[in-house]
Amino acid sequence: MSPIIPIILAGGTGSRLWPLSRESFPKQYLNLLDRDEYTLLQQTYRRIANLESITKPIIICNEEHRFVVGDQMKKINIDPLEIILEPSGRNTAPAITIAALKASEYFKKKGMDPTLIILSSDHQVERKEEFLETIRASIPEAEKGNLVIFGVKPTHPATGYGYIKSKSEFRKNELIPIQVEKFLEKPDQEKAKLLFKNKKYLWNSGIFVFKASIILEEIKKFSPKIKINCQECLSKSSTDLDFLRLEKNTFEKCSNTSIDIAVFEKTSKAFVLPLDCGWNDIGSWDAIWKIAPKDSNGNFIKGKIITKNSKNCYLRSEKRLLATIGIRDLAIIETSDAILISNMAENQKVKDIVNILKRKDIFEGLNHQRIYRPWGHYETIVEDKNWKVKLISVKAGEKLSLQKHQHRSEHWVVVKGEAVVEIDEKEFLLYENQSCYIPKESKHRLSNLMKSSLSIIEVQCGNYLGEDDIERFKDNYGRTNKS
């Protein structure tokens, strides 16, 4: 059997799960179900890790999340074949084309044509062994030169998924691919009810299996410009530490198109295989509520929460006390800087709220209060026009860049651990409850050489406090002008 390469698509923003999932740290990097310690991205690889002939993954993500992906893979002892950085989201067709080209290049030297399994990084699978059996059943069809898509057996007339129609009905308990007749976009409620009754229709899971050579042939046939642009993009791309950074201009020439539209709706080689394994794409709060553990009143409860006469609700509090009385069918999610209250039936429209926040340039629409960096993270505690207070946490053995600011000075106070501080080439130690002052335009650096995390309070003062007021001189992570 040829090697099977998992291609994990991790570039989504998860805006329908706002305010927990945001563009700065979307859902695939979170543990949303609290069933174990693994994030959705980690679970995506772990559930197929023992599949026969499986290799390490190729992961495609936004360049802003590169260190998060690297760190999360390291925690499950996986060194990916490649972590590919998209300069911007162009949907699944360009991403899959890039991955197929890299996979072909990698295994061509070994005289192999690998099989690719395309996986979204934000899916939940309840029954792992049944999922693996479906993958195994798809391999022979892929070896014949066909393209396999997994269709999920509907459990209700959903309006949040696209649908696939097979040319004939599937026999019960048979895992035999059937040729695709057509694809349908997300239907309205009345249409969904009709599709649910027709056994030829399955939900579009967005999971695919095919040979690298075959998908590249079909992309060249039906969407040739995408392949040409991706080939040119790869020729101009560069290695950045452990990452492959795609060249921005050529990548953005690719049309913003899904692989479904670019290839699967046009090819005669598309076959659908039924997937029945407790699959969920965790695309909305009501979807999470349906698979989450509930109390006797049908409520999912996480955090400091008191309820009275409340039923069938998703209640999540990250920091503050949340109390409810006499409510039904609501999702209420509290974070440190935002609260969402939504009727379960309206959860698909959370994305509309995020779009409004973006248009109004409201910070909370895209960003968390906690911002992750390769060395750790920071949180803004309080701020005003000319001052800001942050809590900075530096991981063991890590250090920030050697940098300076043109518009602000800083005070550092160590609240946990031991800090190595460099200011204008002078280096000294700071212990708990000790502080120092960094004048404007002074070169400075913060390091944690200990085996436990370092926490400091940073007080910024100046006429401009933006994160882009950083000039770097040395950096362990290859960054230039971003923090």
3-state secondary structure 53-96: CECCCEEEEEHHHHHHHHHHHHHCCCCCCEEEEECCCCCHHHHH
Residues 408-420 as b or e (16 or more Cβ within 10 Å = b): bebebbbeebbbb
Per-residue pLDDT at 329 exceeds 60: yes
pLDDT of 483: 44
Query: What pLDDT band is residue 313 in, cutting at 50, 70 and 90?
Result: very high
Summarize pLDDT for 401-429 with one digit per residue, the tens: 999 999 999 999 999 999 999 999 999 99
Work out the average pLDDT over 271-294. 92
Residue located via tokens 């050697």: 402
Name the phi and psi angles at 425, rounded to 5: 70, 5
Q: Find the helix packing angle between 212-222 and 92-108, rounded to 10°.
A: 130
Using CA atoms, how far residue 312 sits from 294, 298, 368, 369, 388, in Å, is 8, 4, 28, 29, 41
Work out the average pLDDT over 23-47. 90
Q: In this structure, is the dihedral angle defined by the CA atoms of residues 16, 258, 68 and 278, taken in order, positive or negative?
A: positive
- Determine what percent of the chain is predicted with pLDDT higher than 70: 99
pLDDT of 481: 55
Which two three-digit tokens encode residue 257?
């198109």
Summarize pLDDT for 447-480 with one digit per residue, the tens: 999 999 999 999 999 999 998 899 999 999 887 6
Domains and CATH numbers, the chain: 4-280 (3.90.550.10), 285-354 (no CATH), 370-474 (2.60.120.10)
Query: What pLDDT band is residue 482 in, cutting at 50, 70 and 90?
Result: very low
pLDDT of 370: 87
Average model confidence (pLDDT) across the chain: 93
Work out the average pLDDT over 422-443. 96
C-alpha 167/C-alpha 116 separation (Å) is: 25
- Element at 293 (helix H, strand E): none
